[in-house]
């Protein structure tokens, strides 16, 4: 029972973190919407990208931000804010990939433990 509460608590914490990241990205998304070709290149992210599309394994916008170390040329956006957004996105990608790895390891370990019983 304790493990269930820990899993729920960590899951909710992760979801709230993604909501925070999504709120920080909104200004950048508003600027990105002004340039349709760049918006398409970024994967057409919606306003709810980090707590809806990101969880459904659509990483194109996050990888776009990860690969672009500087603000893309046509955008007029503060570079310090962009760097803080990139840091949060890189952390989100790391947490998402770690979450996937943990799920796979738990499945493998549970199969190994049940095969010995």
For residue range 38-94, list pLDDT tens digits in order.
999 999 999 999 888 888 888 999 999 999 999 998 888 999 999 999 999 999 999
pTM, to two decimals: 0.84
Looking at per-residue pLDDT, the higher value among 6 and 33 belongs to 33
The domain ranges of the chain are 2-116
DSSP helix/strand/coil, 79 = helix
In terms of C-beta density within 10 A (0-12 exposed, 13-18 middle, 19 or more buried), how is residue 98 classed? exposed
pLDDT of 117 reads: 62
pLDDT of 3 reads: 74
Distance CA 2, CA 101 (A): 22
pLDDT of 29 reads: 93
């Amino acid at each position: 029972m304790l493990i269930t509460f820990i899993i729920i608590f960590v899951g909710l914490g992760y979801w709230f973190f993604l909501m925070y990241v999504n709120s920080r990205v909104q200004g950048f998304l508003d600027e990105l919407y002004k340039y349709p070709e760049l918006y398409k290149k970024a994967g057409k992210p919606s306003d709810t990208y980090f707590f809806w599309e990101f969880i459904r394994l659509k990483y194109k916008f996050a990888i776009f931000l990860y690969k672009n170390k500087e603000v893309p040329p046509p955008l007029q956006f503060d570079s310090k804010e962009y760097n803080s957004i990139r840091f949060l996105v890189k952390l989100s990608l790391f947490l998402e990939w770690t979450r996937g790895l943990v799920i796979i390891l738990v499945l493998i370990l549970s199969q190994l433990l049940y095969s010995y019983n």
